[in-house]
Amino acid sequence: MSDENKTTPNKIGEQLEVAGSQLVDRVKELIEEGNVRKLIIRNPEGRVLLEIPLTIGVVAGGALFAFYPILAAVGALAALVAKVTIEVVREEPEATVQDVKEGAKNAKRKVEEAVDEARENLKGE
């Protein structure tokens, strides 16, 4: 399985090569992840075989049963192809790694300042 990443301002995309026999399981896993907004299944030549838009409410609500008809269609498709590419479009996380690191540094600095202030107050007593 190989991954190829593409990004746009609000979306993150990746491509996964999957054997037809693994297609249903992989699509189900991706749906259950919750941050996937669209799946596009392509044949080896790049032709779109199936496009599956996913909504936040249904997936976040745990209503996977709503996707059983889609999974049945994916299963039928899997029987016809040996290998496919799944293009996964995800929602970009709001906080980046840099934001988290910066927040941690600020929190550490504030804690150190509070500790220093407490030491000064204890020395004065």
Q: What is the pLDDT of residues 53-72, one digit of tens each?
A: 876 544 444 556 667 777 78
Asked which of 20-24, 45-49, 119-123 is least confident by mean pLDDT, the reply is: 119-123
In a shared domain, residues 85 and 102? no
pLDDT at 1: 44
Amino acid at 3: D
In a shared domain, residues 103 and 74? no
In a shared domain, residues 73 and 115? no
Structural domain containing residue 45: 3-91
In a shared domain, residues 17 and 43? yes
pLDDT at 121: 78
In a shared domain, residues 71 and 111? no
What lies within 8 Å, CB to CB, of 89 at 6+ separation is 11, 12, 13, 36, 37, 38, 39, 40
* Cα–Cα separations (whole angstroms), residue 117 to 88, 109, 110, 123, 124: 51, 12, 11, 10, 11
Asked which of 81-85, 92-96, 121-125 is least confident by mean pLDDT, the reply is: 92-96
State the chain's mean pLDDT as an integer: 76
In a shared domain, residues 39 and 78? yes
- The more confidently predicted of residues 43 and 2 is 43
Q: In total, how many domains does the chain have?
A: 2
What is the percentage of the chain residues whose pLDDT exceeds 90? 0
Q: What is the pTM of this model?
A: 0.57
